[in-house]
Amino acid sequence: MKRRPVFIIIVGLIGIFLISTQLRSADKIPQEIINLAKTDFFALGKDPIIVNAVKAENAKGKTLDQIKEMDKKWQETPGLADFMKALMESQCGKYIISYQTKHPYIDEIFVMDNQGANVAMTNKTSDYWQGDEDKFVKSFNNGKGDIHFGDVKFDQSTQAYLVQVSVPVKDGNRVIGAITFGVDIEKIK
């Protein structure tokens, strides 16, 4: 019986450590990434190729139900299907792949419409609809736009610490979508 309180204290301390590590993860974002978000990434969100692709997708007038149906299909499809490749092979897809190639610290880029559905991508995303995730919600910001930094996380597939940085896609002063960059914090230094 005497060991039980010690065990509970140890488990509690581990829990507090894990929670505080999670809360402090935003502090681990290097200043270089913050500067990139405010300059290069923000500028890419105004690039005509990206803006035109998002405008064209928004003009399709997809309902949220249609987007969620595609999201389900996306998540159930193994590998890279033709409808996914189309997002990489579009003019916008090729453009962001070219941008990623020139910046080796970027592991992924994906562009979203005004509902958070994928418009273009450099790599297959885990789902098609980002509209319920902070990367879209906070960067689209109800049409006001903002820069959003996700938590620094260890990515098993790349064996690297990544942060997702999201900025609005803007047509003039109007926010029409968002773009997310997966940045390897080890390569940025």
CATH number of 29-184: 3.30.450.20, 3.40.190.10, 3.30.70.120, 1.10.540.10? 3.30.450.20
Q: What is the DSSP string of 89-127?
A: HSHHHHHHHHHHHH-TTEEEEEEE-TTSBEEEESS--S-
What is the model's pLDDT at position 189? 67
Least confident of 60-69, 89-98, 146-155: 146-155
What is the model's pLDDT at position 24? 36
pTM for the whole thing?
0.83
Q: What is the DSSP string of 117-155?
A: BEEEESS--S-SB-TTSHHHHHHHGGGT---EE---EEE
Tokens of 97: 């792949």
Least confident of 5-14, 53-62, 157-166: 5-14
> Between β-strands 106-112 and 160-171, what pairing exists: parallel, antiparallel or unpaired?
unpaired
Q: Residue written as tokens 């970027």? A: 106
Q: How many other β-carbons are positioned within 10 Å of the β-carbon of residue 98?
A: 10
Domain spans of the chain?
29-184
Rounded CA-CA distance 44/145 in Å is 14
